[in-house]
A and B are shown apart, each in its own frame.
Chain A
């Protein structure tokens, strides 16, 4: 009797829960005009001075506008500026005219003071304010819609910096109490969307009906963060979200998504490649202080094989540390895979035939792809160069690696890099520049923080020269820098990746801008 009553209670409970879920599932369809977008992880902050994660940058690009942006062809295009920047003859002053029809989300008008406020705030509290370096001397606002930026020295990369999302203009009125501290959970900019709700894992964007340009063609974007790759994949597969935007999804799932898109069950959009994966070689100590050994190791890396094994061929093998779109497709070729040449080089240095070159390769244990790259390369070396090279692999958490890179702890380490702004310099300087060096060893500077400790007098001279050059002259100097590096091999490029997004069949294909951000305003339901 007691058992029967209990069973009745359970049946009733299950029935009620089932009813409530049916109700809940139905209520989702009531909201179908908004686009739901899933992405990996949480967002700590939407303050442009604070952000440095890809996801936060993606959202800021929809909530705000920059002065300029790069087109997909790599051309500078005015956005909040009304025309192209005008440089003085000595290249120390930039005149920028601003649009006069732009309003912030709080109703105040965008003007030169707002831009000055934003740049100064970023200089003061920006966590990545080092990208400005010591370039900007002062900012003047001679009129409401005219901005004058005075530089300490000529800097051609300033154009790229003006496209940086970290310099997305903020309303001085709204941020007046946050001039010297972050405002993490609110955003008042000029963009196509207004932030309606912010939490670490959910962000709701609504169209800005007073936007100065073309308004979004959807009713808003609901962004949700999932903490693992399986959930992201599952959310798209089970149609619980309209769009999946993630570069941290596992390669096996990327492959399945690619198959689905080839079978036209979903749509795949991708940006121009902008994320470089590479191996940093410590050039100030044995064994990689020897150029021939570096050459041999570089020639032992079978990029095609690794790309095929690890990413199912979805990541493009790269023999450059700068995305080709920034170099007008001029090819700078780093050493190619050639096992015989690698062996000959090692034999020349007394290895092989009984003496084996041993070295450790470190990978970031919290980046699954890095481990697979290390394992694939190790396996390849074991099968083809067993008599010459013995490579041990170690996984270390990324934060620990970043801390120890400048200590010179890692002989070889797998890393990746995305330029902070769309410019070749944003890839070359963080990897190759050096402030203080002896012979070819960097003592202080960016290459120390990248773990290579490599320096070149010629490269420093070219960096200096490139700052005062523009157009092709500047590009040629930057290409020359990469050529010098490709001959010295402080790094071994592995592959270059794109940002990717996938949408359901009834949603338009995701499109990316020149900076690698998804254009959320172009997402729409096709049946609308």
Chain B
């Protein structure tokens, strides 16, 4: 165990050292692709009516008249000082914009993930417990259809049904417009709790409910199918059969024998899901006007805001790489079969 732990630490150390290299490659690719893409921030800001002189002045002010290699070197130099630059469209620090929008995406992602787990596991469990019965068929249909539904369609239908027809959820946004938004960490739910502000907590839950339920439902299928499959495999294993022979009751067999082993593959799946949600769920954010990082990235791409696009991609890439590393370490710690 001790030897494996040391190897895990060594593996993690190497992986951490590789993070800057991964980020440098990603940053360079984004830098290059943005410069290759037609259109530039000047056109996005000024539209088609500006004079040549006005364009040149703005291009000069934004530092776009420098040669590409010089722009690249400046970008790398700033990046090495953790300076992501200034947004070309509104002249605000990129880090500040990310700090404002990233918590919204993470908050939505985490709540959706919890919803997905809360939906997926019971559906998978009910299906397995009622194998080849009607409930199993229902759980399979729910599981498959949830990840077969295109997110944009699912989100629009949820909005139509719950916000427009039944009218129990708001149509979009993150917080009631008429309330003062608590501001500490940027995570409104946490900030409401920290400020002891119950109405803000209810307001934020009220707004996050529909997008999180929708995204959670869309993600739940993967978890229910995966959970069912792995739990079934665990139930068929020798150690569970041995436990049954020893007369251990159903609850203990599930919680102490079958469940821990069936959760290991789901840990990997959860890591990948959370990592993908860290970059925001674009279609859900667009449909529900959720002011997250994915929506911000989409706007920045339309505005050809080079610095902001670069900044968002670098930060979200960092999160994805870090989360993957954490998942790798957790799996190595929990699963003795994994050796580095």
A interface residue numbers (CB < 8 A to B): 1-3, 6, 10, 17, 20-21, 23-25, 27-28, 31, 34, 36, 42, 44-45, 50, 52, 127-130, 133, 181-182, 184, 199-202, 204, 222, 224-228, 230-231, 234-235, 237-240, 366, 397, 399-406, 415, 417, 420, 430, 444, 446, 449-451
Contacts and interface: CB of A to CB of B under 8 A. Distances in A.
B126 A230 contact: no
B178 to A, nearest CB: 4
B178 A20 contact: no
Given A202-B177, A231-B287, A184 B304 contact: no
B168 A222 contact: no
A235 to B, nearest CB: 5
Given A27-B199, A184-B92, A224-B177, A2 B254 contact: yes
Given A50-B90, A404-B38, A446 B303 contact: no
A200 B39 contact: no
B295 interface: yes
Contacts of A222: 177-178
B72 interface: no
B51 interface: yes
B49 A28 contact: no
B171 A231 contact: yes
Interface string B69-106: 00000000000000000000111100000001000000
A192 to B, nearest CB: 20
Is chain A's interface secondary structure helix, strand, loop, or mixed overall?
mixed
A184 B86 CA distance: 13
B122 interface: yes
| 10 smallest beta-carbon distances between A and B, as pairs | A130-B54, A399-B39, A24-B206, A402-B43, A31-B178, A403-B39, A44-B90, A400-B38, A400-B39, A226-B289
B289 A231 contact: yes
Interface stretch (B14-22, B159-167, B238-246, B319-327): B159-167
B287 A184 contact: no
B177 A444 contact: no
Given A34-B178, A44-B90, A404-B38, A224 B173 contact: yes
Contacts of A2: 250-251, 254
Contact of A446 (B47, B49, B209, B304): B49
A420 B49 CA distance: 10
Contacts of A24: 176, 202-203, 205-206
Interface of B: 37-40, 43-54, 58, 89-92, 100, 118, 122, 125-126, 129, 156, 159-160, 163-164, 167-173, 175-179, 199, 202-203, 205-206, 209, 250-251, 254, 285-289, 291, 295, 299, 302-304
Contacts of A237: 164
Given A227-B172, A231-B288, A402 B54 contact: no
Q: Which of B45, B172, B175, B177 has the largest count of A CB atoms less than 10 A from its CB?
A: B177
A10 B48 CA distance: 56
B287 A20 contact: no
Contacts of A238: 163-164, 167, 171
Contacts of B291: 42, 199-201
A181 B89 CA distance: 13
A128 B43 contact: no
A403 B302 CA distance: 13
A278 B117 CA distance: 52
